[in-house]
Structure 1
Amino acid sequence: MTADPNDPTTPPWDYRTMLPGDASAYDTGVIEGGLTVEEQAWLSQQRHAWESQFTGGYRSPEELVSGHSIAIVPSRWVKFEQWLPFATDTSAPISLSRGEVADVARRCRESGLWLPLLVTSFAWGWGSRGFGPTRLLWVLEGKGGSAGLSTSEIEKRLAAAVDALDQQGARGAYGLMLDAGRLSEFGPAFFTKFLYFASRTDNARGRALILDARLALQMRAFWQRRADEPYAATSRSARWLWTGPRWSDYRYQIYRTFVCRSAAQLSKSGERWTPELVELLLFRATRTA
């Protein structure tokens, strides 16, 4: 499939080039089979419900994604104020959107310093829940008496992850942060948020996508509905395949491929979709697909 720049429904990526060469029969079958008619209708309903939250009618996928805001209590993050794009002198909740976090990522790209994005994406991910600042302190300073990495070493590892993202793509960056470039207490649910926003500053190899427990639960539902297909006969269960919290880089790539396949399939209706929009709608859904 070659992208047609004059056709707004044609995505600039091909899921078939993303499917791992060693993909299992189960994973390949689910991805190549695509969304059912019912699943497509459900995702379309999720889109229209989200779109109704905005005034003025139709919104592009980019606008729908960038407008996704999370409530933050600024005063809870006062220890990290030097890296945040908002003041922390108030306990009144504020909204922090994906678009605003992406702006931080662009400034980090310009400066070459990535701690502001780590901190901002972490705060965005935790929202108003109270434990987030403590967890972030563990990432930056260590936990339980164990000294954490120096600020310079954290910056070095973040820069290496972004370089891997640029040179190798999302799977390579994910694998690095999972293993050799790992930061303590900074698992996939949050480092994929960092990678996701970092990738919004450079489209050369396609964007990273967020993967956390809620999204893995959605994937498990898609796989479970296909568990009786012949291609699933010799595989482990869907529950086992999508159990986290440290999904392999292979599993992360399968996830990205499925979401991209879904966006391509949904775009054939004449309404343009992006992988980010599919991810957002699956994350926001109050039940599994």
Structure 2
Amino acid sequence: MVLPDDVDLPDRDTVLGQAIPFDRARWIPLLPDSTWWPAVLDECPDVGRWPRVDRRAVFSTAGQVNTAEGRRHLLVAASVWGTGTKAQSVNWRARVFEHSSPADIDARLSEALDVLQARGAADAYWAFNNYQRVPCLGPAFFTKVLYFAGHDRATAPPRPVILDSVVSRALQADDAVDTGWPENGWTTDQYQLYADGVHEYAQSRGVLPDQVEAALFTQGKQLP
């Protein structure tokens, strides 16, 4: 994967401050119980009608991924950050909790995040996409979990980065990937190619990988 030299990269504070509005009242009834809701979300500032959660707040939940409660809070916070306020979007995202028991989600999160720490992003991606698959938790969202759990912690390089359909559109527009690159449902090899490419590009520009991912996301949002 080769990115153009002139990608406009945000600074890290801008990346960490990327904030998404959310509606607490829509989420709480859809969780297994209220203990799944991370307290940090109740500390997020209101901006207009809605509170807004930024990457920095979600990262704060990742410090507790050694506990079942911490992993639950990370999953919920990452999902809230990636969803927005529309009822249909929230209901769709919360299907994760309809199709698996809390114990099953706990076990699969624990195993996949253990793989992340032990063997790195690509192996953890394979785990989430195969033997530790959580129904209704696809790559666009489990890469968010991997990113927040591992980007600022000691994992084998490359650091985990988010891959979703918006980022994928930017990669296609930049001719950074081969013709036929999908907008979703990426294989482990494709995720490895993407993560390696972002890692190498970030190193060449003296930035962190999530600054590259955020730039690609912004570019993808602007595409028709």
Counterpart contact for 1:106–1:201, Cα < 8 Å: no
Q: Tell me: higher relative CO, structure 1 or 2? Use CA pairs within 8 A at least 6 residues apart.
A: 1
Gaps of 5+ in 1: 1-30, 48-60, 143-148, 227-236, 268-272
- Mapping for residues 15-164 of structure 1, pairs under 5 Å: 31=1, 34-35=2-3, 39-41=4-6, 43-44=7-8, 47=10, 61-79=11-29, 80=31, 81-84=34-37, 85=39, 86-87=41-42, 92-109=49-66, 111-113=67-69, 114-142=71-99, 149-164=100-115
Between the aligned partners of 1:257 and 1:203, the Cα distance in structure 2 is 16
Q: Do residues 287 (structure 1) and 222 (structure 2) align?
A: yes
Q: Do residues 186 (structure 1) and 143 (structure 2) align?
A: no
- Note closer, same or farther for the CA distance 1:137–1:266 as it changes in structure 2 (3 Å cut): closer
Counterpart contact for 2:119–2:155, Cα < 8 Å: no
Between the aligned partners of 1:287 and 1:106, the Cα distance in structure 2 is 33
Counterpart contact for 1:83–1:120, Cα < 8 Å: no
Counterpart contact for 1:73–1:92, Cα < 8 Å: no
Which entry has the higher C-alpha Rg, 1 or 2? 1
- Mapping for residues 121-270 of structure 1, pairs under 5 Å: 121-142=78-99, 149-200=100-151, 202-206=153-157, 207-223=159-175, 238=179, 240=180, 242-267=181-206
Counterpart contact for 1:140–1:151, Cα < 8 Å: yes
RMSD: 2.3
| AA matched with 2:74 | L
User: Cα offset for 1:170?
Assistant: 0.3
Q: Deviations over 1:23-61 (max 9, x none)?
A: xxxxxxxx4xx44xxx333x23x53xxxxxxxxxxxxx4
Between the aligned partners of 2:150 and 2:49, the Cα distance in structure 1 is 31
Segments of 4+ moved more than 6 angstroms: none
Counterpart contact for 1:105–1:201, Cα < 8 Å: no
Counterpart contact for 1:189–1:212, Cα < 8 Å: yes
Identity of aligned residues (%): 27
| AA matched with 1:124 | W
Using the size of structure 2 for normalisation, the TM-score is 0.85
User: Cα offset for 1:130?
Assistant: 2.3
Corresponding residue number in structure 2 for 1:277: 211
User: Cα offset for 1:282?
Assistant: 1.1
Using the size of structure 1 for normalisation, the TM-score is 0.67
Counterpart contact for 1:215–1:283, Cα < 8 Å: yes
User: Cα offset for 1:108?
Assistant: 3.0
Gaps of 5+ in 2: none
| AA matched with 2:28 | V
